[in-house]
Chains A and B, each alone.
Chain A
Amino acid sequence: MNIKLRKMFLLAVMLTLSVGPSLAQVVANVPADHELKAASGPSSAQMAQGDPSGTLTGTVSDVPVSNPKQGLTVTDMANQVGQNKIAINFVWTLVTGFLVMFMQAGFAMVESGLCRAKNASHTYMMNFAVYGLGLFAYWVIGFAIQMGGVGAIANLGGTAPLVGEHMLTLLGHTWGLWGTTGMFLAGHSYDVGVMVLFLFQMVFMDTALTIVTGTCAERWKFVTFCVSSLIMGAFLYPLFGNWAWGGGWLSQLGTTLGLGKGYVDFAGSGVVHAVGGLTALAVGLIIGPRIGKFNRDGSANAFLGHDISAVLIGCFILAFGWFGFNPGSTLGASGNGALRIGSIAVNTMLAGCTGTFGAMLYMWIFRGKPDPSMTVNGMLAGLVAITAPSGFVNPTGSILIGLIAGVLVVLSVGFIENVMKVDDPVGAISVHGVCGLWGVLSVGLFADGMSNYGGSWNGVTGSVTGLFYGDASQLVAQLVGISTLIGVVFTLSFLVNLVLEVTIGHRVTAEEELGGLDIPEMGALGYPEFVLQPEPSYAA
């Protein structure tokens, strides 16, 4: 038998089964080809009687034989082991991607529930439409910009066609700026591994886009929302996605400048949530507050949401989807340390839990009641914050990260409304922007150096380790990421949406806003049998 193949088989067996015997023992146990030929599964007669115990199904009979004349060989076995590993990872990544896709329903319920009944149809429709708009833009060019130069991803068994990255040589280093392969998923990108990666990354991108609709709800012109979302899905989101996840310059900070393992963002506190939250702030600043939100003395009026049950159920849907968001970001359940998915899932639920406590207790102690909508934001804040560090921290770190996020979101909502005078009907800027940035920072503080995803991260050998566990340089890489999110992503989002403001305008007319957006923008009321309350005196 080919010696090289035998070695590959040994390696595959050891990696796949995670067994720990010595190499000599394994060599002694490797079956020769003639032994494999002798192996036989249950007979047709046995199978015809059914298999109620499940002991006859899935045997050597199910391993494909490449050459019937030769019979089953070690090569066939090794190929089957490899295919099983990649199949496990494909299924894992796809299923977790489906969970993330369902988060759109959660966002729709939370955002619409926190808005007034007269805008329900419009708010639901924005959340619904953003899925298709973002998907289309991402298919055309967004995916190529973000992941076109990522190279082969071992857990997905390939994605090798994605090898085009536009580079800039500056100050003695080469910096990745954007990907160049994968447009329309055509050509060599028509590849099974690339398809899995596309689906998973696409639903992440859509999550970022839907954050903006919350902040701009109840006054955003639908056509402008469509154009803004297309541009964000095609260019703005993918650009930072490339820098962080696609092999771009932020991920290279470890190899180029010796900053930890480069900018690290496991599942997207920065890439998804901070990008969405900061874009929401940019558009929120341009579009301005809802009529009647602020009084002449600058004090704010509360606009109560119309359906707290939708808000609470929507939040649970989001929390459920987060089990796709974070554990799915291993892009596999087999190989390269992916068994850490259990730890990642537990970290996710713990941070959501303490985020809930943080916000609820703060409101209870300092405002007298455990406000439901703020408690929902507390859970989401904890989940957003743990998204970046979930793959690198321990449960104690998760508890602290979530708790801090829960308090931070309450303080931030007050600051943005009362100091910045920005009207954010659902608190999206605080939940996703502020707590997203906190999540990015927390990697540089709490990463415990115990993770091992194939022995390196971003091309730097070793485990991601934060300041509290001995590596201050990782914190610097995270700070550079935060600076980029604010200084570049926010700036670009602001400028693009300022152009839209000058050309087609972001805001509906005052009459449309006061009457509700459902009829003028959607043509139908969300709740046609409701008797809508007339606007108070400020409408005059």
Chain B
Amino acid sequence: MISKLLAVLVVWLGWLATVVGLHFVSGVPGRMALSLVGIGISLFGMIVLLPSVMNRSVNR
């Protein structure tokens, strides 16, 4: 259960990086880059971490 929660935490942290980043960077290119980094972190959690954790526990 802990590993599932940690994996989904990574997904959420990606969003946090995006929205917090918007306030620290003012230019469009910088904001775009930070948004992409945030989406990348979330995607890593969602399509790499979570499936590996879930498939381990629900493999039938």
Contacts and interface: CB of A to CB of B under 8 A. Distances in A.
Interface stretch (A76-84, A156-164, A286-294, A305-313): A286-294
Nearest to B20: A171
Contacts, number: 86
A218 to B, nearest CB: 13
A491 B28 contact: no
Interface SS of chain B: helix
A252 to B, nearest CB: 12
Contact of B55 (A421, A482, A483, A487): A421
A482 B60 CA distance: 33
Given A286-B54, A288-B54, A490 B60 contact: no
Interface in A270-301: 281, 285-289, 291
Quick one: which of A281, A287, A288, A483 has the most chain B CB within 10 A?
A: A483
Interface string A412-423: 000000011110
A476 B51 contact: no
A422 B51 contact: yes
B58 interface: yes
A56 interface: no
Contacts of A23: none
A296 to B, nearest CB: 10
Contact of A171 (B12, B18, B23, B54): B23
Given A288-B59, A491-B8, A483 B28 contact: no
B36 A479 contact: yes
Contacts of B16: 487
Interface string B5-25: 000100111111011001100
Contacts of B29: 472
A411 to B, nearest CB: 13
A486 interface: yes
Q: How large is the interface on A (under 10, 10 to 19, 20 to 34, 35 or more residues)?
A: 20 to 34
Nearest to B43: A486
Contacts of A287: 58
Given A257-B22, A487-B18, A476 B32 contact: yes
B8 A479 contact: no
Contacts of B35: 476, 479-480, 483
A140 interface: no
B47 interface: yes
A420 B55 CA distance: 9
B38 A487 contact: yes
Interface in B19-53: 19, 22-23, 28-29, 31-32, 35-36, 38-39, 42-43, 46-47, 50-51
A513 B10 CA distance: 33
A105 B16 CA distance: 39
A444 B18 CA distance: 17
A488 B12 CA distance: 6
B42 A487 contact: yes
Q: How large is the interface on B (under 10, 10 to 19, 20 to 34, 35 or more residues)?
A: 20 to 34
A483 B60 contact: no
A495 interface: yes
A287 B39 CA distance: 25
A346 interface: no
A138 interface: no
A289 B59 CA distance: 8
Given A286-B58, A288-B58, A487-B12, A479 B32 contact: yes
A494 interface: yes
B47 A483 contact: no
Given A486-B11, A486-B43, A490-B11, A289 B60 contact: yes
A171 to B, nearest CB: 5
A494 B42 CA distance: 13
B30 to A, nearest CB: 10
Contacts of A482: 39
Contact of A487 (B15, B54, B58, B60): B15
A264 interface: no
B14 to A, nearest CB: 5
B51 A487 contact: no
20 contacts: A171-B23, A281-B46, A288-B55, A291-B60, A420-B51, A476-B31, A476-B32, A479-B35, A480-B19, A483-B35, A486-B39, A486-B42, A487-B12, A487-B14, A490-B11, A491-B8, A491-B11, A491-B15, A494-B11, A510-B60
Interface of A: 171, 257, 259, 281, 285-289, 291, 419-422, 472-473, 475-476, 479-480, 482-484, 486-488, 490-491, 494-495, 498, 510
Given A259-B22, A486-B39, 16 more contacts: A286-B58, A288-B55, A289-B60, A291-B60, A420-B51, A421-B55, A472-B29, A480-B19, A483-B15, A483-B19, A484-B19, A486-B11, A486-B15, A487-B38, A491-B8, A495-B8
The 3 closest A-B pairs by CB, nearest first: A487-B15, A288-B58, A479-B35
